[in-house]
Structure formats: C-alpha cells, structure tokens
Copies of this chain bind each other. A is one copy, B any other.
Amino acid sequence: MASGCSELESAIEVLVRNFYVYAEKKGKQDKMNKKEFRKMVTQELQHVLTNTQNKEAANKLIQSLDADEDGKISFDEYWTLIGEIAKKLSMQMAMQCQERP
C-alpha cells in the first residue's frame, strides 16, 4: 500500500498481512493449517477470544469456520472470524454511544 495511507487503510493491511504471516509458515501459502491457525489465535487474539490456549476450543473454532471442510483456513474463512470479532466490538461501541448523555 502507498505510504501516507490513512489509519483505516493501514489497519486493513495489518489484518490482511497477518493472515499471510501465519499461512506462509508451512505447506500451502494461501491457507492456514490447524497448527498455524492455533498459533495465530493464541498470539494475536488472546484479548478478544476466550480459551485461546485450549487446543480443543481452537479446533472447534476451526471446524465452525472451515466452510469447505478441507481442514484448512482460507482467507475468506479467516475474514469471517475477523468479522465476528468486529461485530461483537461494534455492539459494545453502539451501547457506549447510547449510554452517553
């Protein structure tokens, strides 16, 4: 992305780059295997997700995201997770807006 990007554009780039940082570690470069996904959840999403250290919980999360059931997480499936986290956060912020005088 061009330098001088807005904070919003840089944030989108962080989200996209994060996927490839973990997907590229082993095997197919455009998909995260289970181990890469668990590592990403543990290292990057420990404040917004619960049970991130729990292997079983992480595997359940993978199963719920793995729409094409290939045992790996594609960018689209990763983006579904990010969207769920964002929507949860947006509901919290919407409530804060309403509570303000």
Which A residues are within 8 Å of any B CB, using their own CB?
A: 1-2, 4-20, 24, 29-30, 43-48, 75-76, 79, 82-83, 85-87, 89-90, 93-94, 97-98
Enumerate chain B residues within 8 angstroms of A7, measured Cβ to Cβ.
14, 18, 44
Number of copies: 2
Enumerate chain B residues within 8 angstroms of A75, measured Cβ to Cβ.
87, 90, 94
Known: A16-B90, A90-B19, A90-B75. A47 touches B11 (CB 8 A): no
The interface residues of chain A, by DSSP majority, are classed as helix
- Report yes or no: B86 in contact with A15, Cβ–Cβ below 8 A: yes
- Min CB distance A67 to B, Å, is 15
Known: A29-B97, A97-B29. A47 touches B89 (CB 8 A): no
- Min CB distance A87 to B, Å, is 7
